[in-house]
Amino acid sequence: MLQLAAKALLSGALIVAIAEIGKRLPTFAALIASLPLVSVLGMILLWNTRPDPENMAVHAEATFWYVLPSLPMFLLLPWMLRQGYGFWLALLAGCALTIALYLLMTHFGPRLGIRV
């Protein structure tokens, strides 16, 4: 239980740090947010729990393929904001687009030989 709480605190601290840095330096905060910190931490924790090279390889490869459908959200959101749409609507549209692209990835990925 203590290990789970430590993981949650570390994850929360990263999010808070990015939000606080973003108040003054939005581009630098975006750089930090774009780093695969969560993925790297997740892989370290997964490896400590289950040190299996094949399991880690499958995890890392699937992470790559699932990052791709999430990227268009980061283009749609600023475009909508600049067009005058409200933040919450733009965020919702970005999330909906990401979910739709995830569904497409899980449906068509295996048919294209992509392990997800």
pLDDT in tens, 65-81: 999 999 999 999 999 99
Strands (E), 22-61: none
pLDDT digits (tens, 9 = 90+) for 27-59: 999 998 888 888 898 899 899 999 999 999 999
Number of domains composing the chain = 1
| Token pair listed for 45 | 């924790």
For residue 34, being part of any structural domain is answered with no
For residue 78, being part of any structural domain is answered with yes
For residue 29, being part of any structural domain is answered with no
For residue 48, being part of any structural domain is answered with no
Confidence of residue 85 (pLDDT cuts 50, 70, 90): very high
For residue 67, being part of any structural domain is answered with yes
Q: Residue 69: CB partners within 8 Å, gap ≥ 6?
A: 98, 101, 102, 104, 105
For residue 80, being part of any structural domain is answered with yes
For residue 37, being part of any structural domain is answered with no
Domain encompassing residue 89: 53-116
For residue 96, being part of any structural domain is answered with yes
